[in-house]
Amino acid sequence: MTRPNYQVAIDQLALLDALVDFDPVVIGTPPLGIATDKSDIDIACSANNLDIFATFAKKQFAHHQDFQMRDIDHLNEPACVVTFKAMDWEFELFCQTQKTGEQWGVRHFIVEQRLLSLCPQLVEDITMLKEGGIKTEPAFAQVLALDGDPYEAVLKLETYTDEELSQLIAKR
């Protein structure tokens, strides 16, 4: 089976409709246009009570192949992570009590989206690094010669204006 476009998979599974109460945001490499064959579909969610999300997720998604759910601590915040396979894609639902727009994954995604829209040529460089096994934020950090922890370095760019981002890109 050839896997469908990520948006087709999301739509056919009606994931955003199912997750509507959890303020879902599709993030990650497919919507950025830098997906590889190993990319999954990431959806960030938010819930006031992670137990409610976990109960919902188990009821809604447990029938899918390789369904797993685990509680983790992410940046000193509890999170519930649900993974499963469907339509030849692996899905990861990441839920915290923190509002979706404040979560690191969503914030990284927005910065990366801005960078790629300012410089579409970055897509090729980032994708090449990702195909070599480098994760997304480290790939951006390497291409843009950002110092320090790549996750923090990319996040620092969210305060940059488009002009400042363009200047950073031009230096590479």
Taking only the tens place, the pLDDT of each residue in 26-63 is: 999 999 999 999 999 999 999 999 999 999 999 999 99
Domain range for residue 128? 105-171
Tell me the sheet residues that pair with 41: 91
Whether 1 is in a domain gets the answer no
1 falls in which pLDDT band (50, 70, 90)?
low
Mean pLDDT computed over every residue of the chain: 96
Are residues 85 and 60 located together in one domain of the fold? Answer: yes
Query: Which among 82, 89, 101 has a CA at the least distance from the CA of 38?
Result: 89
Tally of structural domains, the chain:
2
pLDDT mean over 120-140: 95
Query: Which among 131, 132, 151, 148 has a CA at the least distance from the CA of 140?
Result: 151
Terminal alpha carbon distance of the chain = 40
Residue 172 is predicted with a pLDDT of 83
Cut 0.85: pTM above it: yes
Q: Where are the beta strands (DSSP E) in 108-170?
A: none
Are residues 96 and 15 located together in one domain of the fold? Answer: yes
Query: Nearest 5°: phi and psi at 81?
Result: -115, 125
Residue 19 is predicted with a pLDDT of 98
Query: Nearest 5°: phi and psi at 147?
Result: -90, 160
Are residues 17 and 93 located together in one domain of the fold? Answer: yes
Residue environment code for 43-60, b if the CB has 16+ CB neighbours within 10 A, otherwise e: bbbbbeebeebbebbeee
pLDDT digits (tens, 9 = 90+) for 69-80: 999 998 788 999
pLDDT digits (tens, 9 = 90+) for 119-129: 999 999 999 99
What whole-number percentage of the chain has pLDDT above 70?
Answer: 99
